[in-house]
A and B are shown apart, each in its own frame.
Chain A
Amino acid sequence: MAPAFLGTLIFIILPSLCSFLLSFTKWNLLSPPVLCGLKNYISILSNPLFYKVLFNTIFYSLSISIFGVIIPLLLAVIIDKKIKGADVFKTMYFLPYITPMVIIAIVWEWILDPQRGIVNQLIFRSQIDWLYNSNLAMYSLILVSIWKNIGYNMILILTGLQGIPSSLYEASKLDGAGEIKTFFKITLPLVSPMLFFVMLITMISSFQIFDLIYLMTNGGPENSTNVLVFWIYKNAFEYFKAGEASAIAYILFLIILILSFVQWKLRKKWVYNE
Chain B
Amino acid sequence: MVFPFLWMVLTSFMEINQIFSDKISLIPQPFIIDNYIHVFTKIPLTGYFINSLFVATLTTAGQIVISAMAAYGFSRMKFPFRDSLFFIILATMMIPPQVNIIPLFFMMSKLHWIDTYQALIIPGLFGGFGVFLLRQWFKSMPYELEESAKIDGCGYVRTFFQIILPLAMPAVATLGIFTFINTWNSFMWPLIVTSSDAMRTLPVGIAAFKGNFVEETQWGQLMACAVISVIPVIAVFLAGQKFLIKSMIIDGMKD
Contacts and interface: CB of A to CB of B under 8 A. Distances in A.
A100 B126 contact: no
B102 A245 contact: yes
A110 B206 CA distance: 14
A78 interface: no
Interface stretch (B91-99, B147-155, B165-173): B91-99
Contacts of A246: 102
A256 B203 contact: no
B24 A121 contact: yes
A109 B184 CA distance: 21
Interface string A93-113: 111111111111011101101
A156 B126 contact: no
Contact of A1 (B73, B127, B181, B248): B73
Interface in B230-255: 230, 233-234, 237-238, 241, 244-245, 248-249, 252-253, 255
Contacts of B101: 15, 232, 236, 249
Interface string B184-220: 1101100110000000001100110010000001010
Contacts of A16: 95, 99-100, 103
A8 B129 CA distance: 11
Contact of A107 (B7, B102, B106): B7
A44 to B, nearest CB: 15
B107 A15 contact: yes
A43 to B, nearest CB: 17
Contacts of B4: 96, 104, 107-108, 111, 147
Interface residues of A, number: 76
B99 A252 contact: yes
Contact of A155 (B7, B106, B187, B245): B245
Contact of A267 (B69, B85, B222, B253): B253
Contacts of A232: 98, 101
A118 to B, nearest CB: 6
Interface string A209-243: 01100110000000000000100110011000010
A122 interface: yes
A181 interface: no
Name A's interface SS. Answer: helix
B104 A15 contact: yes
Contacts of A19: 99-100, 102-103
Contacts of B72: 1
B103 A22 contact: yes
A215 B226 CA distance: 14
Interface in A112-151: 113, 116, 118, 121-122, 147, 150-151
B237 to A, nearest CB: 6
Given A11-B122, A12-B100, A106-B226, A267 B66 contact: no
B88 interface: yes
Contacts of A253: 95-96, 99
A100 B188 CA distance: 12
A233 B230 CA distance: 26
A184 to B, nearest CB: 26
B222 A260 contact: no
Nearest to B126: A7
B126 A8 contact: yes
Given A12-B100, A122-B24, 7 more contacts: A3-B69, A11-B123, A15-B100, A100-B202, A110-B219, A152-B248, A263-B255
13 contacts: A4-B131, A7-B126, A11-B126, A15-B101, A19-B103, A99-B233, A101-B185, A113-B219, A150-B1, A152-B252, A208-B98, A237-B105, A252-B99
Which 6 residue pairs of A and B lie closest in terms of their CB atoms, listed nearest first?
A4-B70, A1-B73, A7-B126, A15-B100, A18-B103, A15-B103
